[in-house]
């Protein structure tokens, strides 16, 4: 713990998922933590506060700000807090804000392959198709029959509204370039250590076209380009920049993606270890990135998925 004494980690989006798990892991390693997040006050009091108290119980300092990270007042409050508490001591900056639009770009007219398969199965069994569909959904959602994901109905539907131009602009800015803008300001103001580490999150949706993920996918590609630019231009200031590509993980942000329940089932089947990635898996990797051993991995996209992305069915 003494190894990181006095150092700080700044985490945007640190109240749940990857950000919270990383905050906990870094706290156990001796890092002081400064978190920016945006949640309802009721959620903070009933759900998030116990996690924050767990971090404080490790003996490190924890500073949190429940603000809108995408307006001037919220950003200003957070930046002033970093200057006050962690000037010259920010060793890790993590951008883990999920704020993108997951809407279809156009009306979905895909043929009803599921309905056709259920009908064929019902005819082969000599039973009503509605009973087969009900049985499939019960087995999938209540009995853990993951292999039925190709026939089951998702409980996370697409939104009725189509993807708009403003949705794309906001998503690409918030999830694609905000990491660069924050990182640049931290460096310009001299808030970082001489060998600081910057980390942001991507997903397999950076290369695979998931329906309803077009805006976020575009943002992830912009994010990865930002990381490469930061690795080159901030290197002269001692900063290392990384992107972590997590496997399918059961997080609040993930569960906002349409069809994510079906995606989780598929991931459990195709992953070599037949389980989902956990926030703690990711947190362990990010903690490792703060250590000297991985200082030369600058500009890398690091998969933390147990081999999921490279596995076929």
**Each residue of 122-175: pLDDT tens digit?**
999 999 999 999 999 999 999 999 999 999 999 999 989 999 999 999 999 999
Q: Are residues 187 and 202 in the same domain?
A: yes
Domain boundary (97, 121, 150) is at: 150
Strand partners, 304: 246
Q: Are residues 81 and 102 in the same domain?
A: yes
Q: Are residues 184 and 297 in the same domain?
A: yes
Residue 173 tokens read as 């800015």
Q: What is the dihedral of CA 37, 43, 48, 50, to 10 degrees?
A: 150
Q: Are residues 96 and 226 in the same domain?
A: yes
Residue 116 tokens read as 């056709």
Residue 273 lies in a domain: no
Q: Are residues 18 and 141 in the same domain?
A: no
Residue 158 lies in a domain: no
Q: Are residues 29 and 75 in the same domain?
A: yes
Residue 292 lies in a domain: yes
Query: Residue 178 is part of a domain; what is its CATH number?
Result: 3.40.50.720
Per-residue model confidence as pLDDT tens digits over 181-198: 999 999 999 999 999 999
What is the model's pLDDT at position 312?
Answer: 81
Q: Are residues 284 and 141 in the same domain?
A: no
Distance CA(14)–CA(26), nearest Å, equals 12
Domain that residue 123 falls in: 113-150
Distance CA(20)–CA(296), nearest Å, equals 26
Q: Are residues 60 and 100 in the same domain?
A: yes
Strand, helix or coil for residue 304? strand
Q: Phi-psi bin for 271: left (phi > 0), alpha (psi -120 to 50), beta?
A: beta
Average pLDDT over residues 260-289: 98
Q: Are residues 293 and 236 in the same domain?
A: yes
Residue 270 lies in a domain: no
Distance CA(303)–CA(247), nearest Å, equals 8
Residue 47 DSSP code:
I
Whether the Cβ atoms of residue 245 and residue 203 lie closer than 8 Å to each other: yes
Instruction: Select from 117, 92, 86, 101 the least CA-distant residue to 25.
Output: 92
Distance CA(38)–CA(84), nearest Å, equals 21
Per-residue model confidence as pLDDT tens digits over 58-83: 999 999 999 999 999 999 999 999 99
Residue 164 lies in a domain: no
Q: Are residues 84 and 20 in the same domain?
A: yes
Q: Is the pLDDT of residue 2 over 60?
A: no
Q: How high is the mean pLDDT of the chain?
A: 96
Confidence of residue 4 (pLDDT cuts 50, 70, 90): low
Q: What is the pTM of this model?
A: 0.94
Strand partners, 92: 9, 197
Residue 264 lies in a domain: no
Per-residue model confidence as pLDDT tens digits over 76-108: 999 999 999 999 999 999 999 988 999 999 999
Residue 156 lies in a domain: no
Q: Report the number of distinct structural domains present in the chain.
A: 2
Q: Are residues 75 and 192 in the same domain?
A: yes
Q: Are residues 212 and 189 in the same domain?
A: yes
Q: Is the pLDDT of residue 221 over 80?
A: yes
Q: Write out the H or E segment, with its range, that includes residue 56.
A: helix 49-56
Distance CA(225)–CA(230), nearest Å, equals 9
Average pLDDT over residues 10-28: 97
Confidence of residue 3 (pLDDT cuts 50, 70, 90): low
């Amino acid at each position: 713990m003494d190894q990181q004494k006095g150092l700080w980690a700044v985490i945007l989006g640190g109240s749940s998922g990857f950000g919270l798990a990383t905050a906990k892991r870094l706290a156990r390693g001796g890092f002081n933590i400064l978190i920016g997040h945006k949640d309802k006050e009721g959620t903070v009091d009933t759900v998030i506060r116990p996690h924050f108290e767990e971090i404080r119980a490790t003996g490190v300092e924890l500073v949190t700000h429940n603000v809108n990270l995408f307006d001037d007042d919220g950003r200003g409050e957070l930046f002033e807090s970093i200057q006050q508490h962690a000037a010259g001591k920010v060793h890790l900056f993590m951008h883990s804000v999920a704020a993108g639009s997951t809407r279809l770009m156009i009306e979905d007219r895909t043929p009803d392959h599921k309905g056709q398969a259920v009908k064929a199965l019902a005819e082969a069994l000599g039973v009503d198709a509605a009973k087969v569909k009900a049985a499939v959904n019960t087995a999938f959602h209540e009995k853990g029959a993951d292999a039925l994901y190709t026939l089951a109905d998702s409980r996370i539907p697409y939104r009725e509204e189509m993807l708009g131009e403003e949705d794309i602009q906001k998503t690409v800015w918030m999830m694609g370039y905000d990491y660069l803008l924050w990182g640049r300001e931290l460096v310009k103001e001299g808030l970082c250590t001489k060998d600081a580490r910057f980390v942001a999150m991507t997903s397999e949706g950076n290369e695979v076209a998931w329906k309803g993920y077009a805006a976020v996918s575009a943002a992830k590609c912009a994010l990865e380009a930002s990381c490469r630019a930061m690795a080159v231009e901030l290197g002269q200031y001692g900063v290392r920049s990384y992107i972590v590509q997590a496997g399918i993980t059961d997080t609040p942000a993930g569960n906002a993606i349409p069809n994510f329940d079906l995606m989780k089932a598929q991931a459990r089947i195709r992953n070599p270890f037949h389980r989902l990635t956990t926030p703690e898996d990711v947190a362990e990797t990010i903690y490792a990135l703060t250590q000297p051993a991985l200082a030369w991995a600058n500009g890398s996209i690091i998969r933390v998925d147990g081999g999921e992305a490279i596995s076929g069915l």
